[in-house]
Amino acid sequence: MEQYRSQYLDILPLDEHVPLVVRRSITITPHIIKPMLTTQKITAEQLYQTLKNIKVGGSVCQYSLRKCAEFVPLINEINELKEEKNAVILVHSYISPEIIYGVGDYVGDSYALSKNALETHADVIVFAAVRFMGETAKILNPEKDVLIPGLLDGCSLADSINAQDVRRLRREFPHYTFVCYINTTAEVKAECDVCVTSANVYKIVENIPNKNIYFLPDKLMGQNLANEMKARGIHKNIRYFDGTCYVHEEYTDEQIFKIRMEYPQVKIVSHPECKPTICDQSDFVGSTTQMLQYMLETDSKEFLMLTECGLSSRLQAEFPDKKLVGTCTLCRYMKSNTLQDILRVLKNPTDNDRVYIDEDIRLKAAQCIQAMFHYTQA
């Protein structure tokens, strides 16, 4: 197995039973909360050493010493403010690397980050991701200030369905358990029975006693779910809504064919928001953190990651000995998070930056999320 090497970050040996701590409090394994350890200032050279191996996506995604020098004053100011305000910064793996490695306290997939949000002792949570993730943090922490720096409000899945749609479907399918993907608004979660993420969807649906499952809003994940249940010999009647993620639905069989021709040893790793034909041809399918873990635990040197480009950037920064092949697809919502806006929301948050959820809706949505924690631990 590889070891993460860095000039300035803590290095721990990798072990299957030990969480990989890659930077200060950052951990890639869900469930582990580390206290923030340092407010130590970083230099442009240190940031550059961490980001210099990122090659995916052409010049937009790459780092020079000069570019790092522009980020460093912002990073140091954010880290000071974070300490002053007892704030924690949660960062999804799709977010730009200067945010993950400069100011992030926890980085992970949506399940791990919701656990981090549940367990943090900070007074302020800055969620560098998309709105539904910030809403999940607020649902679990009504007393905390949850701030969303991302300027582009949305997610193609969360925007594809509203609470009225769910109420109509519930009338149409009264004997179904309504399972919603975490990529939904608080209002939609409030109308559903159990929330799931890409990390636990199969386990949870398998454990739900009802055979009749309505899965929403991702049609492709719904189809992958139905296929997986069949493969496990579990009988479920699965209906699904017709939303899709505009990033993941784009991957094609032709891309896979070409990559396999060019790199016969490549491991293809995909996210369950991809089409079933893509998942069928993949060596591994899982959440963004599970994709990372698969890569870590697999001896192969070449990988094609069929998900947003931020994950590949992260892998190149942390595991430069592995080769990431293929093109780069960006999520415009995730990539609308910047260091400038993180600093702005920490200094002077406006009502627009804060997450507010009506208390009735919050309580119902919290039940739906608590059901996820219950079934995940079952």
Nearer to ligand 13P (CB atom), residue 311 or residue 343: 311
Nearer to ligand 13P (CB atom), residue 273 or residue 341: 273
Query: Does residue 125 bind ligand SF4 (CB under 6 A)?
Result: no
Task: Fill in the amino acid letter for 95.
Answer: I
CB of 68 to ligand 13P, least distance (A): 26
Binding part of the chain for ligand 13P, among 4-12, 71-79, 106-114, 184-192 by CB under 6 A, reads 106-114
Query: Does residue 157 bind ligand SF4 (CB under 6 A)?
Result: yes
Query: Does residue 251 bind ligand SF4 (CB under 6 A)?
Result: no
The C-alpha atoms of residue 300 and residue 121 are separated, in whole angstroms, by 40
Binding part of the chain for ligand 13P, among 104-112, 144-152, 204-212, 338-346 by CB under 6 A, reads 104-112
Query: Does residue 198 bind ligand 13P (CB under 6 A)?
Result: yes
The C-alpha atoms of residue 127 and residue 149 are separated, in whole angstroms, by 7
Query: Does residue 96 bind ligand 13P (CB under 6 A)?
Result: no
Query: Does residue 130 bind ligand SF4 (CB under 6 A)?
Result: yes
- Six-digit token string for 346: 């920490």
At 233 the three-state DSSP class reads: coil
- Member of 191, 308, 341, 353 binding ligand SF4 (CB under 6 A): 308
Closest listed residue to residue 286, CA positions, set 269, 310, 302: 269
Query: Does residue 114 bind ligand SF4 (CB under 6 A)?
Result: no
Residue 174: HSE in the Cβ half-sphere, 13 Å Cα cutoff: 1
Nearer to ligand SF4 (CB atom), residue 334 or residue 355: 334
The C-alpha atoms of residue 19 and residue 12 are separated, in whole angstroms, by 9
Nearer to ligand 13P (CB atom), residue 69 or residue 118: 118
Counting every residue written for the chain, the total comes to 378
The C-alpha atoms of residue 149 and residue 324 are separated, in whole angstroms, by 29
CB of 38 to ligand 13P, least distance (A): 26
Q: Which residues contact 74 (CB under 8 A, 6 or more apart)?
A: 102, 339, 340, 343
Range 254-293, binding ligand 13P (CB under 6 A): 271, 273, 287-288
Residue 103: HSE in the Cβ half-sphere, 13 Å Cα cutoff: 33
- Member of 155, 205, 291, 346 binding ligand SF4 (CB under 6 A): 155
Nearer to ligand SF4 (CB atom), residue 246 or residue 356: 246
DSSP per-residue string spanning 118-147: HH---SEEEEES-HHHHHHHHHH-TTSEEE
Range 265-284, binding ligand SF4 (CB under 6 A): 273
How many residues make contact with ligand 13P (CB under 6 A)?
Answer: 11
The C-alpha atoms of residue 338 and residue 341 are separated, in whole angstroms, by 5
Nearer to ligand 13P (CB atom), residue 135 or residue 273: 273
Q: Which among ligand 13P, ligand SF4, none contacts residue 156 (Cβ within 5 to 8 A by kind)?
A: ligand SF4
- Member of 331, 342, 365, 366 binding ligand SF4 (CB under 6 A): 331
Q: Which residues contact 372 (CB under 8 A, 6 or more apart)?
A: 182, 194, 195, 196, 197, 200, 204
Query: Does residue 109 bind ligand 13P (CB under 6 A)?
Result: yes
The C-alpha atoms of residue 296 and residue 222 are separated, in whole angstroms, by 28
CB of 127 to ligand 13P, least distance (A): 13
Apex 102 CA angle, 98 and 106, nearest 5: 105
Q: Which residues bind ligand 13P (CB under 6 A)?
A: 109-111, 183, 197-198, 245, 271, 273, 287-288
Q: Which residues bind ligand SF4 (CB under 6 A)?
A: 130, 155-157, 183, 245-247, 273, 308, 331, 333-334
